[in-house]
Amino acid sequence: MTETAPALRTTRFVVSRRKEGDDPGALRYDTYDVAVGPRTTILDALVAIRRHLDPGLTFRHSCFHASCGTCGMRVDGREGLACVTPVPSGAEVVVEPLANLPVVSDLVVDMEVFYEAFDEAGRPLVRASESVPGSTPAEGIEELERYEDCIECGICLSACPVAGSDPRYVGPAALAAAWRVVEEPRGRDPGPVVRLMDDEQAAWRCHLAWECSEACPSGVDPATAIMRIRRSAASARARRLFSFGGTR
Amino acid sequence: MASTTAEPRRPAVGPARRPGFVGWFDPRGRRLGGIAFLVNRITGIGLVVYLYLHLVILALLAQGPTAWDTFIEVALSPPFLALDVILLAGILIHGLNGIRVGLVGLGLVASRQRALFVALMAIAALVALAGGLRIFTAG
Ligand code: HEM
Ligand code: SF4
Ligand code: FES
Query: What number is the ipTM of this complex?
Result: 0.78
Question: In the predicted model, what is the mean pLDDT of chain A?
Answer: 89
Least confident of A83-97, A99-113, A200-214, B13-27: B13-27
pLDDT given at position B17: 55
CATH superfamily, domain A9-109, is Beta-grasp domain (3.10.20.30)
Separation CA B105–CA B118 (nearest Å): 17
CATH topology identical between A9-109 and A112-242: no
Question: Does B13 reside within a domain?
Answer: no
Interval A3-25 mean pLDDT: 87
Contact list, A230 vs chain B (CB under 8 Å): 105-107
Ligand 2 neighbour A211 (Cβ under 6 A): no
pLDDT given at position B82: 92
Least confident of A58-72, A82-96, A134-148, A216-230: A134-148
CB contact under 8 A, A230 and B113: no
Question: In the predicted model, what is the mean pLDDT of chain B?
Answer: 83
Ligand sitting nearest the alpha carbon of A222: 2
Question: B131, B45, B129: which is closest to B94 by C-alpha?
Answer: B45
pLDDT given at position A133: 64
The preferred substitution site among A151, A157, A169, A212 for testing ligand 2, maximizing ligand atoms within 8 Å of CB, is A151
R_g (Cα) of chain A, nearest Å? 22
User: Which domain does B49 fall in, by range?
Assistant: 31-137
pLDDT band at A244, cuts 50/70/90?
low
Question: Does B1 reside within a domain?
Answer: no
Question: Does B35 reside within a domain?
Answer: yes
Q: Residue B48's domain is classified under what CATH number?
A: 1.20.1300.10
Question: Does B108 reside within a domain?
Answer: yes
Q: What are phi and psi of A61, to 5 degrees?
A: -160, 165
Contact A119, A125 (CB under 8 A): no
Q: What are phi and psi of B26, to 5 degrees?
A: -90, 110
Contact B24, B41 (CB under 8 A): yes
Separation CA A157–CA A206 (nearest Å): 12
* Domain count of the fold of chain B: 1
Give B25-46 pLDDT, tens digit per residue: 777 778 899 999 999 999 999 9
Question: Does B112 reside within a domain?
Answer: yes
Strands A9-16 and A92-96 turn out to be: parallel
Q: Which residue of B has its CA nearest to A164?
A: B19
From the CA of B87, how far away is ligand 1's center (Å)? 14
CATH superfamily, domain A112-242, is Alpha-helical ferredoxin (1.10.1060.10)
Question: Does B18 reside within a domain?
Answer: no
Ligand 1 neighbour B54 (Cβ under 6 A): no
Give B47-75 pLDDT, tens digit per residue: 999 999 999 998 888 888 888 888 888 88
- Is the pLDDT higher at A87 or at A117? A87
Give A222-242 pLDDT, tens digit per residue: 999 999 999 989 888 888 888
The ranges assigned to domains in chain A are 9-109, 112-242
Interval A25-54 mean pLDDT: 94
Using CB atoms, pick whichever of A27, A94, A165 lies closest to residue B14: A94
Q: Report the gap between the CA of A142 and the closest CA in chain B (Å).
A: 37
Beta bridge partners of A90: none
CB contact under 8 A, A228 and B4: no
Give B7-20 pLDDT, tens digit per residue: 333 333 334 455 55
